[in-house]
A and B are shown apart, each in its own frame.
Chain A
């Protein structure tokens, strides 16, 4: 009786559409180790002569790459109920407008704003949308059969996608820190990151009763309980192995591994394991994921635009381009998540149901798009994933230039 009226819910789904955005593993990973095409110009050395560790600086990078998540979790645990109360989901919904939704829009913008990008990945850009539209229509026509599984597919894929981004971001920071990620490091790291995703998912799948998303109930698989134990063992084994490899690297290099390299994986662990049963925290996980993504997407946008249009770096450029890009993605997000469901509802479909299936469709599309946008043909002389904000802010005083 005490478990009350609420069936267990999945973490990353909230009133505000979980917005898993960002990069699947191959996406950012490929960005980490880009293979220069024969035609690509040689990679120019950074203006500062060595690779910057951060996209912006330590406080900002730490905050967006996971610090905010962890602090929020600790605060909610300490001072707030775990219940998903109206104040929590209202706050999460408000944040969706300014962070989650724009983050989806940013992905689509990156692929679709340039015809060359579309033709580089025609199946993703032109075929996948139709497949997804077909699935959305199937859900509308068969709300009791297709819709629940469409939602289930999306909600299972979403944390996998989060994991891809976590791995990608970790590899970016590792590369920036000069930490070589070999076969075993990657294997251990993947086991930890994807293990946390699999553990969290298996926990949900144990219960065949399932849960609901935007009023669309979807079933669980009824996995046996021991699978959760097995997967979490794999996760912890991966984590320990990676730490051992990292310590070995520290001893060999005689320097500390910058903590920011470990932060994304730790953050995902908090999202999926201790934070899994804390509904008030889960409401914000998509927001945190989007924050992580936007930091990188914003940096890349600034760098690419600067190089492509041969603009002059400077504060005014950064402010102008950030504002333009921000407004564009805000509007794009509003179209995708606010207007599209209402458009579908105009045809007579219940708005709540329409919101559920459209949001799932947009996000599934995003998972595909995000898999390719980091591999678009390079338009910059150096990898945009290695950029630092100072590169876009214009020349520094001579003294600092000399550091190189």
Chain B
């Protein structure tokens, strides 16, 4: 073997060995996020960011991430999950009590595609809590500035599907919710789960808030109020001053507008025209309400 070959082997060995030594050790647990585009599996780095990993696992176990939203999407850069305080279903007191800022655990790991990086306030490095980003590409300018605590082990194709939804600036035009987040005790147990493979986001189902089943009792109650108010106005029309009858009618308008707001907002989020109509409708309703019990 020539000297040159020996040198090449030596360099290769050091390089491979070094790379292996740099690869952070993964925690035994895996975290699965069920999203509108499929399941994403996270592996965590307990040796790199022990506090963050502990807190993250605790949040998942306590259901803190359920119904949180991916609210920032910058293709090639990040897909960011917003803070748990902004999730759709209100946090319980116990969950809220868990939300505490955590000290930064910066490392020399590079921000590359698939990395999980904790979000924080610009001026406070120790303000990270529940919001984090999935890196969509290399971002060396973030290195050493934000805590890296894990990576997407499986499901980058799911992330890519999430990134295909229409955006307004860097905001997804449909709420991309984490439907459910779970901790799987070991990587091996992932095989027991039937993970949902990547698929395009169904825009009409991206937000589960408006499923017919969830909405119908509320809508029925609202309609009942309208009917009751209308019936009273009708029954007493001859005995009440016009000003009061008009106000009862306005109560109907208010309740009806509220129901329309509930029904149309998810649609408005996918259609600018409907968004403008809903916005104008709200302003018109307020204007009408300023005539409430006002004969002028």
Contacts and interface: CB of A to CB of B under 8 A. Distances in A.
A122 B129 CA distance: 49
A157 B214 contact: no
Given A1-B78, A5-B131, A371-B292, A208 B168 contact: yes
B258 to A, nearest CB: 6
A122 B244 contact: yes
A322 interface: no
B221 A209 contact: no
Contact of A222 (B122, B269, B294): B269
A122 B246 CA distance: 12
Contacts of B276: 223-224, 227
A5 B82 contact: yes
Interface stretch (B10-18, B41-49, B279-287): B279-287
Contact of A208 (B80, B119, B171, B258): B171
B261 A209 contact: no
Contact of A5 (B121, B210, B289): B121
Contacts of A401: none
Interface stretch (A55-63, A101-109, A179-187, A350-358): A350-358
11 contacts: A7-B86, A124-B292, A138-B222, A144-B88, A145-B210, A145-B262, A152-B261, A208-B175, A215-B85, A222-B272, A223-B276
B278 interface: yes
A254 interface: no
B83 interface: yes
B290 A25 contact: yes
B269 A221 contact: yes
B25 interface: no
B265 A7 contact: no
Contact of A26 (B207, B269, B294): B294
B168 A207 contact: yes
B287 to A, nearest CB: 8
A368 B247 CA distance: 11
Interface in B217-247: 217-218, 221-222, 225, 244, 247
B164 interface: no
B60 interface: no
Contact of A149 (B173, B175, B247, B265): B265
Contact of B247 (A24, A124, A134, A227): A124
B184 interface: no
Interface in B168-183: 168-169, 171-175
B89 interface: yes
Contacts of B294: 26, 30, 371-372, 375
- Dominant secondary structure at the B interface: mixed
Using C-beta atoms within 8 Å of the partner chain, give the interface range for chain A: 35 or more
A2 interface: yes
B94 to A, nearest CB: 9
B128 interface: yes
Interface residues of B, number: 79
A368 B286 CA distance: 10
Interface string A163-174: 010000000000
Interface of B: 67, 69, 71-72, 78, 80, 82-83, 85-93, 96, 117, 119-123, 127-131, 133, 139, 142, 146, 168-169, 171-175, 207, 209-210, 214-215, 217-218, 221-222, 225, 244, 247-248, 251, 254-255, 258, 261-262, 265-266, 268-270, 272, 275-276, 278-279, 282-283, 286, 289-294, 296
Contacts of B255: 131
B85 A212 contact: yes
Contacts, number: 209
A148 B268 contact: no
Interface stretch (A40-48, A198-206, A294-302, A333-341): A198-206
Given A5-B130, A215-B90, A225 B120 contact: no
A313 to B, nearest CB: 32
Given A83-B121, A124-B292, A3 B72 contact: yes
Contact of B71 (A198, A209, A215, A368): A209
A352 B286 contact: no
Given A1-B117, A353-B90, A367-B289, 11 more contacts: A123-B248, A127-B247, A144-B89, A156-B282, A201-B279, A205-B279, A206-B168, A207-B168, A219-B209, A222-B173, A223-B276
Given A24-B290, A222-B275, A149 B296 contact: no
B131 to A, nearest CB: 3
A134 B221 CA distance: 9
A6 B80 CA distance: 11
B83 A217 contact: no
A336 B159 CA distance: 46
Interface in A92-107: none
A219 B173 CA distance: 11
Which has the most chain B C-beta neighbours within 10 Å: A4, A26, A124, A367?
A4
Given A81-B123, A123-B247, A212-B86, A350 B282 contact: no
A144 B175 CA distance: 14
A131 B251 CA distance: 8
B82 A209 contact: yes
B175 A1 contact: no
A55 B247 CA distance: 33
A222 B168 contact: yes
A112 interface: no
A131 B225 contact: yes
Nearest to A351: B93
A221 B282 CA distance: 11
Contacts of A356: 90
Contacts of B254: 131
A270 B146 CA distance: 35
B220 to A, nearest CB: 11
A121 interface: yes
A146 B219 CA distance: 9
